[in-house]
Amino acid sequence: MRCPFCGFAESRVIDSRATEEGNSIRRRRECLSCIRRFTTYEVIEELPLMVIKKDGRRTMFDRGKLLSGILKACEKRPVPLPVIEKVVDKVEKESRSQAEREITTRMIGEMVMAELKEIDQVAYVRFASVYRQFADINNFMCELELLMKQGKKNS
């Protein structure tokens, strides 16, 4: 590892530990030339995940776009940001754990809706209305009726 201070190519590792999230390793290093210390992080190199859109186009998976969509659905709802971030983490993890390096927007949308249904039913209906592109109030009412039937079964 090249020293950020003097550029010397060799250093020694003084301390290693996993980060709180557990997805990287933090290393304290000491340059063998100038003896200054610096920190590096080692992370797993992830292969790109491609998302297949409804029209067949392929784009890179965008965590920010996923978070934005869920935030819009949860706007003015009592859903804390850490809960929303956990949903994004879970959906991203499930998407990346697929055997294929490509996933459809349909699969992502279904995962998000399953999570939102358990967290906040209003956010779920908001997300579903955009995701499923409800054309009129009848589509909206059908989804609400389905949700109410499922709520009665679980009571």
pLDDT of residue 3: 95
Let me know if residue 55 belongs to a domain.
yes
How many residues would you count in the chain?
Answer: 155
Q: CA–CA separation, 38 vs 84, rounded Å? A: 34
Cα torsion 125, 129, 132, 134 to 10°: value is 130
Question: Both tokens of residue 92?
Answer: 């991203």
Identify the bridge partners of residue 60 per DSSP, sorted by sequence position.
Answer: 50
Nearest to 119 by CA among 152, 72, 87: 87
Q: Are residues 62 and 123 in the same domain?
A: yes
- Inform me whether the pLDDT recorded for 155 exceeds 60: no
Cβ distance 111 to 94 under 8 Å?
A: yes
Let me know if residue 2 belongs to a domain.
no
Q: Give tens-digit pLDDT for 111-143.
A: 999 999 899 988 988 898 887 777 677 777 777
Distance in angstroms between the alpha carbons of the first and the last residue of the chain: 59
Print the domain residue range for 141: 50-154
Q: How many domains does the chain have?
A: 2
Let me know if residue 141 belongs to a domain.
yes
Q: Are residues 74 and 118 in the same domain?
A: yes
Q: Give tens-digit pLDDT for 77-107.
A: 999 999 999 999 999 989 988 878 899 999 9
pTM of the model: 0.64
Confidence of residue 29 (pLDDT cuts 50, 70, 90): very high
